[in-house]
Amino acid sequence: MESRDSSYIFDQNQLHTFELRLPQASLDFLNADPMAEEYVEGELVFEGVTVGPVGIRYKGSVGKWVGCVGEGEIFADGGAKACTKLSMKVKINWDDPDAEFYGLRNLQFHSQNLDQTLMHERLGYLLFREMGVPAPRSVHARLVVNGEFVGLFALTEQIDGRFTRHNFEDGTGNLYKEVWPLRSDGKPRSNSEFYEGLKTNEDDKNLDMSQMISFAEQIATEDDGREVMRRWMDIEEIISYAVVDRTIRNDDGAFHWYCSTDEANYGSDCGNHNFYWYSNPSTGKVHLIPWDLDNAFENILFDANPVTPIADKWGETSNGCKGFAYGEWYLPQRSAACDKITYIWSTFEEEYERTRNEFLEGPFAKEQVDLLLDAWEQQISPVVKEAAEIHDDALRFEDWKDALDGFRRSLGHARSIK
């Protein structure tokens, strides 16, 4: 095990099995309130080798708990576990801060309960990566807990210091989670706001956040936004990000600006989520990293998700840049291009069109994607069937096959949209 690195864990040709072992009392504690996201101590068993102690907990956000806690309400605020599968996180360096497993310090098993294709994360992240965007690796994995097979999960790479070191020549810089450089009023974020989102170097006595702070201030104040953007970002990379994001309708990502639903502030106080920023100290560049793709692809044929649909096409704005209700549930959102950063990206029209053509003719070409989906379908079919035969609430094998057929049709439609 020690001679291998994380590439073995995220090998697309492998379907690994992981087992978690923990005292029954600890498992009962987790099951009593998954939304508490509290760690308990346990062990990880992989290919006959026991690793531990490790920390084990359930993980998620509002959407991840839908129907799976309490009495099965859509938006429960707590309660006991109600589904066989819930996303789980394993903290390898639970007891030893320097402990690693194949070069990793965290494992994340995503339930995919809302993705009947079981392909959103694996395909979505790979498409980003194929277009040169730094993004997590994701594969499928079997998960066993205390000897009982739980199901098929998406094993998706944690975005942390290990991730930055794997993806950047200098991975020692600062990583920020869900801190957009500009607020919805166009003003730059404060030092404290950037620090609150910091995920690396938090305890560094010589912490230097000047890169992100300067990027935000210059974007907010300088007139030539395109020149500022060229100074701070790899234009080819960020346009590739936008092309992939919009083509696969990653509508719960960085380009969906959700607004307040409170009566007093309805349609204002807007913000986005599901992204990271990395500032590279050697190159002086900042990089946007996608996160949480389980809702991607859903709205290609029509607005299937009542919460996530983005109303505007890339670069367009609506309602004078004020919040407006949209989607089945009429939730307020604001056009992404009302944000100065996103607007500047959208002005690189020639680059966007060229990159989109490269995407359609390359990684997203039908023959390329079909090869991947066919191989992955064959790889995970036995496990999908295994779960359906064991667990009453597992995805039915026939429903999964139907969802995959629909998925392929939606991808074809995505290629045809101008």
Query: Assign residue 321 a region: left if phi > 0, alpha if psi is -120 to 50, beta otherwise?
Result: left
Tokens of 145: 């807990």
pLDDT of residue 164: 98
Q: How many other β-carbons are positioned within 10 Å of the β-carbon of residue 216? A: 24
Q: Write the pLDDT tens digit of every residue in 261-285.
A: 887 677 778 999 999 999 999 999 9
Q: In the sheet that 174-177 helps form, which strands lie side by side, from edge to edge?
A: 174-177, 275-279, 286-290
Tokens of 90: 């394993």
What string of pLDDT tens digits covers the 418 residues of the chain? 445 799 999 999 999 999 999 999 999 999 999 999 999 999 999 999 999 899 999 997 766 777 888 876 666 677 899 999 999 999 999 999 999 999 999 999 999 999 999 999 999 999 999 999 999 999 999 999 999 999 999 999 999 999 999 999 999 999 999 999 999 999 999 999 999 999 999 999 999 999 999 999 999 999 999 999 999 999 999 999 999 999 999 999 999 999 998 876 777 789 999 999 999 999 999 999 999 999 999 999 999 999 999 999 999 999 999 999 999 999 999 999 999 999 999 999 999 999 999 999 999 999 999 999 999 999 999 999 999 999 999 999 999 999 999 999 999 999 998 7
| Residue 209, CA distances (Å) to 20, 359, 403 in order | 38, 34, 45
Q: Euclidean distance between the first and final Cα of the chain, in Å?
A: 48
pLDDT of residue 268: 79
Alpha helices in 210-365 (DSSP H): 210-221, 225-232, 235-247, 340-346, 349-361
- Contact present, 415 and 366 (Cβ < 8 Å): yes
Tokens of 195: 């620090």
pLDDT of residue 1: 45
Strands 16-21 and 138-145: parallel
Which residues touch 292 (CB under 8 Å, ≥6 apart)?
A: 61, 252, 253, 273, 274
pLDDT of residue 74: 66
Domain boundaries, the chain: 6-157, 169-359, 366-416
| Residue 162, CA distances (Å) to 5, 132, 159, 215 in order | 11, 18, 8, 24
Burial 63-95 (b: 16+ CB within 10 A, else e): bbbbbbbbeeeeebeebebbbbbbbbbbbbebe
Q: Write the pLDDT tens digit of every residue in 290-322.
A: 999 999 999 999 999 999 999 999 999 999 999
CA distance 134 to 280: 12
Distance of alpha carbon 86 from its chain centroid, rounded? 16
pLDDT of residue 76: 67
pLDDT of residue 292: 96
Tell me the CB-side half-sphere exposure of residue 335, using CA atoms within 13 A.
16
Identify the bridge partners of residue 143 per DSSP, sorted by sequence position: 18, 151
Helix, strand, coil shares of the chain as percentages rounded to 5? 35, 20, 45
Taken in order 173, 174, 175, 178, is the CA torsion positive or negative? negative
At 289 the three-state DSSP class reads: strand
